[in-house]
Structure 1
């Protein structure tokens, strides 16, 4: 009998039991977009948060997007994509280095972030400001869920692991799939896992179905 697949994410898949890992609360700080040459966007939630603002204030400012999925979401919103990362926030430093240190960046982010790419870029002389556009909190769904010992567990963010482990443990018989190395770093020591080929939910599901 195939293992039951649990997907802990904000998106869904027909092949899995979908557990929303986070509830998102949007913020709207005052931002003078005219001060910046480029934006940095690392999630689709950031794009949703930008819906609160007058598009005319920022829509002509190209954005460095962390992944192809995020870039598509921003383009569908009407924005211009400057460059696309490989899906890992830690690796955005190399994208930023393609531009002059005179460039002024604005990183639009969540309250809690796993990567330190901004500090590393700033330490090398790049000008990057940041603004918190949303707060993520553990959803009731993930806090209440109980899984079979031999289930397949797909984690798509460090916070999805943190929230799951508040009321659950990962059994040795479980098959664990993570979307990337940053997420994998949050797993308890000794837990065996696999990393999806690409940083996408589709890639995680493909691995789960193998």
Structure 2
């Protein structure tokens, strides 16, 4: 079966289906005013890089996922903490006590699927939010093969796909996490990856593809 990945990350034997583009905003922020920087996506850090914001390399970075942590390390940040589980609600449970008594900055997208910002504020954490990028829908005229395996890497990727295409009954959908899966609850051939990683989603897709071909 053909495997489609709703993301631009390249993998052998996988076709990328890009239905969005990232628009970065020009930002001006003094990171030295904060003790902690919350980044749930590497795009937040890319926004800092693109706007050439002077970095406070001693600030504590709190991330969800390896990609954001790897980029933080590449940029030279020294104090990087990765959530044990790659879900916003688990991030909140793990770090809410640690973030208290710290001045925090949450770099985020214009639209977010979670309520992490509200949860942090409601727990008494001193949190500023800064919208640094936006996911914009991009239509496609590409004709898809059915049945196929579709890997969805965010709730927005599901929304964008359904604006442009239809999932057939014999297709297989793979969700990178629980919040993304909520957008696909009415689809019977749905698999939620155990680890919230694009690489793990691709590994699962290839296993399912082999089974389907026998």
Task: Provide the C-alpha distance between the structure 2 equivalents of 1:120 and 1:64, rounded to a whole number of angstroms.
Answer: 15
Asked if 1:134 corresponds to 2:129, the answer is no
1:118 aligned residue: 117
Asked if 1:192 corresponds to 2:200, the answer is no
Q: Where does structure 1 lack aligned partners over 5 or more consecutive residues?
A: none
Give SS of 2:120's match: helix
Q: Scaled by the length of structure 2, what TM-score is found? A: 0.89
Task: Provide the C-alpha distance between the structure 2 equivalents of 1:28 and 1:190, rounded to a whole number of angstroms.
Answer: 39
Task: Provide the C-alpha distance between the structure 1 equivalents of 2:93 and 2:147, rounded to a whole number of angstroms.
Answer: 40
1:209 aligned residue: 206
Task: Provide the C-alpha distance between the structure 2 equivalents of 1:204 and 1:48, rounded to a whole number of angstroms.
Answer: 24
Give SS of 1:144's match: coil
2:212 aligned residue: none
Counting matched residue pairs gives 206
Q: Where does structure 2 lack aligned partners over 5 or more consecutive residues?
A: 208-214
Displacement of 1:53: 4.1
**In the alignment, which of 157, 162, 173 is matched to residue 159 of structure 2?**
162
Q: How does 1:49-128 map to 2 (within 5 A)?
A: 49-54=47-52, 56-85=54-83, 86-99=85-98, 101-128=100-127
Displacement of 1:205: 0.9
Asked if 1:182 corresponds to 2:182, the answer is no
Asked if 1:152 corresponds to 2:149, the answer is yes
Q: What is the root-mean-square deviation in Å for CA atoms of aligned residues?
A: 1.7
Task: Provide the C-alpha distance between the structure 2 equivalents of 1:126 and 1:150, rounded to a whole number of angstroms.
Answer: 47
